[in-house]
Amino acid sequence: MPLDHYVTLGHSGLRVSPFCLGAMTFGEDLGWGSSVKESESIIDRYLGLGGNFIDTANVYTKGHSEKIIGDHVGRHRNKRDRLVIATKFSANLHVGDPNGGGSSRKSIVSQCEESLRRLQTDYIDLYWLHNWDQLTPIEETMAALDDLVHAGKVRYLGVSDTPAWKVAQAQLIAQFRGWAPFVGLQIEYSLLERTVEGELMPMARELALGVTPWSPLKSGILSGKYTRQNAGSVQPTGRAWAAGFLHDKAYAVIDELQRIAGQLDTTVARVALAWVQGRPGVASTILGARTLAQLNDNLKALDITLSAEQSAALDKLTTPTLNFPAEILPMVRMLHAGGTTINGEKSQLLPSFGPTKPDDHY
């Protein structure tokens, strides 16, 4: 699937590339990102291959990420209008100001104006609620976002890193009141982070939210750089906390990724990315490449098609432990079906819970 074979995001007409260019790495301000020149090269390569979806946030490298995008493409109208530029609000860039962050009307409007200035554009294509502000009523947040849409400063809305029940509440409030709804859901999703399959992924499919996974390589742990053979001698640099993800389970997943990569004559990173992009409900996976070489390698994951056996092996190895009531839902379906086959799914009778033959009831 080429980068310029676009998909619509959720229940909207917004066309985006199947891989989104993540800009969290743009800028060296935090000691581990890309230089301005490298960031611009990454943007140019992505756009040159037909990519049109760039994702950033007001807080990424203290706002420098947005400025790099604005300086390189935002201020050039002919380039900017061909792009889907997404950014996020919530993080407070103003130390000492309690209203500098969060999701109140005051903070949302202020953060939007600041992002527009840094991006050097007069509108944001996709504006993400970065994370849930527990101190602000969700009605206030959704009303303020709807006003930004009607003012022409924002085209579409999305939500990130928020509990499923709160997203559902916000979405239904917006729909009932005729406000602009969310069209996208941004969450961490990878072979090493699948707990989102309990609530968030099913919710996204039910509410028609296009999922854009972040950290599909689990902070580079599944990039192919780390193996069981070099365990202990090769550690993440710049982001020391990522070393905590290098455990026995991770190495078992990496071993399997190496096996499949060998079968397909490809790389570990591409197999891991292909698995994420192939999950039900995923619209566009976010690539956080720090170098041009990483981007070029990761983009080739779009050429990978995993076999049923390969996908099943990865699924089995990484099956997550989900919260209640996920574990009992398969049994519940059996109780409902009465031994019949529905939508191609067979059921069996459960003697411990119900009847086992016709008329076997009071």
Q: pLDDT tens-digit profile of 300-357?
A: 999 999 999 999 999 999 999 999 998 888 888 888 988 899 999 888 888 878 888 8
The pLDDT of residue 351 is 83
Give the chain's radius of gyration (CA, Å). 22
Strands 15-16 and 84-89: unpaired
Instruction: Extract the tokens encoding 177.
Output: 């009141």
Decide: 154 and 145 in contact? Cβ < 8 Å: yes
- Among 11-20, 27-36, 114-123, 206-215, the minimum mean pLDDT is found in 27-36
Q: Give the separation between CA 345 and CA 328, rounded to whole angstroms.
A: 16
Residues sharing a CB contact under 8 Å with residue 92, sequence separation 6 or more, in sequence order: 100, 101, 102, 107
Please, which residues bridge with residue 345 across strands?
342
Residue 198 has pLDDT above 70, yes or no: yes
The pLDDT of residue 229 is 85
The whole-number average pLDDT for the span 167-172 is 98
The pLDDT of residue 239 is 67
3-class SS of residue 72: helix
Could you say which of 6, 46, 60, 127 is catalytic? 60
Please, which residues bridge with residue 87 across strands?
127
Average pLDDT of the chain, as a whole number: 95
Tokens 């591409």 correspond to 270
Residue 360 has pLDDT above 90, yes or no: no
Residue 88 has pLDDT above 90, yes or no: yes
| Residue 60 among the catalytic residues | yes
3-class SS of residue 276: helix
Q: Give the separation between CA 117 and CA 113, rounded to whole angstroms.
A: 6
> What digits encode the pLDDT tens for the residues 229-246?
887 777 777 666 677 778
The string over 307-321, giving b where at least 16 C-beta atoms fall within 10 Å of a residue's C-beta and e elsewhere, is: eeebbebbeeebeee
Q: Give the separation between CA 302 and CA 18, rounded to whole angstroms.
A: 8
> What digits encode the pLDDT tens for the residues 259-278?
999 999 999 999 999 999 99
The whole-number average pLDDT for the span 141-167 is 98
Residue 62 has pLDDT above 90, yes or no: yes
Residue 91 has pLDDT above 80, yes or no: yes
Q: Quickly list H helices, the chain.
A: 36-48, 64-69, 77-80, 105-119, 138-150, 164-177, 200-206, 248-264, 268-277, 292-299, 308-317, 329-337
> By percentage, how much of the chain surpasses pLDDT 70?
98
